[in-house]
Amino acid sequence: MKRRNAIIILASLIFVITTGIIYFLFNQRFRNEDEYELVKSISVLSKASNINELELAVGHMGHVFKYPDGWIAIRYRDNHESYSHAIALDSNGHWYKSDYHFCGGLSNIEQTRRAMAFYSAHLPDKVIVPKEIKDYLKEDEESKKIDELISSKKTDNAILIIKNIWNFKDIEGTKPK
């Protein structure tokens, strides 16, 4: 009986220790993946020397917002599990970071907002629109801010907007390009 209890206790200890090690390694992998994507995003954006290169650098989930006095390039990455981050660089060389989850929707944000405005204005009253689309077309605070961001004439105003709606923060230790 004592031997059986000892085996159960030993097996329980091995299970707990193994589970702890697996948990640590699993979380460490994602922490390293997040740090890797952060460093890679800064590296890729900093190598771009013109608007065309910036548009390539932001990748398929990012976007370059263009204004008369400059631009904001946002490179976005997420893995739908443990990290979601966006790195922004403005035309004055300032860097910003956000953990806001765009769910890949940043890349076509301007086209989507313009299409939504068009359809909202031109859908006849008699057309039956599914509830999901009505909800998507409704104007909420974020939608209004995004429209303001897209139509902004000054980069500095746009920076304030992205800080407000998507919680972008200055990246400490980065200097203007």
Report domain extents, the chain.
2-170
Instruction: Report residue 149: phi and psi, to 5°.
Output: -60, -45
Q: Mean of the pLDDT values across residues 18-27?
A: 67
Cα 121 to Cα 119: distance, rounded to the nearest angstrom: 5
Cα 165 to Cα 138: distance, rounded to the nearest angstrom: 17
Beta carbons of 63 and 109 less than 8 angstroms apart: yes
Beta carbons of 43 and 86 less than 8 angstroms apart: no
Close Cβ partners of 40 (under 8 Å, ≥ 6 residues apart): none
pLDDT tens column, 31-45: 566 677 788 888 899
pLDDT tens column, 129-175: 566 655 655 566 777 777 788 888 898 988 998 898 888 998 876 66
**Is 128 in a helix, a strand, or coil?**
coil
